[in-house]
Structure 1
Amino acid sequence: MKKNFLLIAGFFFLNFTIQAQSTVPAANVVLKKAVTDAGNQNKKVLLIFHASWCGWCHRMDAALNDEVCKKLFDDNFIIEHITVMESKGKENLENAGGKEMMEKYNGKDMGLPYWVVLDKDAKLLYDSQEKVTMADGTVKGQNIGCPATEKEVEKFIAILKKTTSLTASQLAIIAKRFRQNESK
């Protein structure tokens, strides 16, 4: 009896584990749903590439979901996450095709979080890169990730200004909240 119980329990555990590992949707599935929802709701897509180990990713999510500005983002964006660059042993959390999607949206060799603003057709409007002119005259993108410094927050607010109908006072609320990320 005990042997049968352990066999049945083991079967259910294995089945649950397999189902849990296969529930992470592919990146293209996440994106397709996001752009469909954005089109239906007249919003933009804020697509965030992140990983479970990334402290700045958690700060970004905390700021986006803070009660002072959550509604402002929810009213203007469909926010989705694509999990990439997971640590060894947690690769099962990644969205298949996420790395390639990040590269497609100019995120190759960028740190996390890396985010993009897309229109309802998945066209890239803005990304989280600050363009910097190097000494040799070439322009290189540096990821601002989770906006925290004054310069990073200014860049983020400038993008929000161009992609939303947020008022100056609403943008100020968002800027104030994201500036708190620098001191945490």
Structure 2
Amino acid sequence: MMNYTNFTFAQATLLFGVVFLLPAIGTANLGNYLRINKGIASHLEMCPAGQDTIPVREQENFDESFGSPTYRPHDRDPFADKEEAPPKVIQPQKVGTDDFKPRLYKIPESYSGFKIEIKRVDKPLAASHDIFFQHGKVFAEKLKDGTFSYLLGDFSNAEEANKFLGDFLKQRYPKARVAEYEAGERLY
């Protein structure tokens, strides 16, 4: 096994640089140097001294400071000769939309099962009521006493309905209760 020392590593690095990198670097720099000098010389021949690409309309006096009382800028108002265009204003357009009407479902005549009554009111709820935005399928039913009942869910037994009511709805709707249906008729 060979032991490498710092000296042999340094020699190998130097050899690598001399053999591989120096010719490439030297050639590239020499070529660029010749091209740059040629480019500058040709540019100077085309542009006589004292001329600029932007024509000067009037010579300003740069000896005066910009804040002095005698300073006169080149153009007092560069926009004085231009007509002011009227402002572009896009007029608002009214777009007709239908009022939001909540989709209320009726209890099917053949339905037998359990639903959760979350709200019971004397008058129908407004279409903007939170119930219609926060719950998916809301069932509405007008009861025999003239009140309106709003119900959620579809449960096959009372245990499932009571568990769902206790876990998710009771805190938000303290008066919520489970309602049983048989052949589309509500059992009190």
Report the TM-score, using the length of structure 1 for normalisation: 0.21
User: Larger RCO: Structure 1 or Structure 2 (Cα < 8 Å, ≥ 6 residues apart)?
Assistant: 1
**Structure possessing the higher radius of gyration over alpha carbons:** 2
